[in-house]
Amino acid sequence: MKKQKLLLIILTSLFITNSSYADYAVKGDYSCGNVIKYDKENNSVARKIIVSWFNGFASGANWKSGNTDVDTFSDANSIYYSVVKFCKENPLKYSADATEFLYLELNN
């Protein structure tokens, strides 16, 4: 009986997904808690990763939509501090959420 319960728990856990990303798979993003921590530590590597991640996301989204508007790309400082601001206001979210929010703001 214990083996059946354990098997049921394992099988059930395989089908649980993160609903906030139900439409797409996200790789390489940070939790907003980590973004805030890295900003306090003045972590230059994390800063570059966050900006590069945004630029990659924006490039992919532009390619997918056919958007050729170069204004989608802002300077690195503006991108970074926008992600940090979003994360400070939404500490339980992820840098992917901040990236999507910023991309949509730049395209309005």
pTM equals 0.71
Per-residue confidence (pLDDT) for residue 108, from 0 to 100: 76
Q: How confident is the model at residue 31 (pLDDT cuts 50, 70, 90)?
A: very high
- Comparing C-alpha atoms, which of 91, 75, 99 is closest to residue 39? 91
Whether the predicted pLDDT of 8 surpasses 70: no
Mean pLDDT calculated for residue range 22-29: 60
Res 23 pLDDT > 80: no
Q: What is the rounded (10 degree) CA torsion for 97, 99, 100, 101? A: 80
DSSP 23: T
Residue 74 CB-density burial (10 A; 0-12 exposed, 13-18 middle, 19+ buried): middle
Report the SS3 class of residue 30: coil
Q: Find, among 88, 78, 83, 84, the residue nearest to 99 by Cα.
A: 83
What type of residue is 88? K
For 39-90, the pLDDT digits (tens) are 999 999 999 999 998 988 888 888 888 877 666 567 899 999 999 999 999 9
Which pLDDT does position 9 carry in this prediction? 52
More confident of the two residues 21 and 59: 59
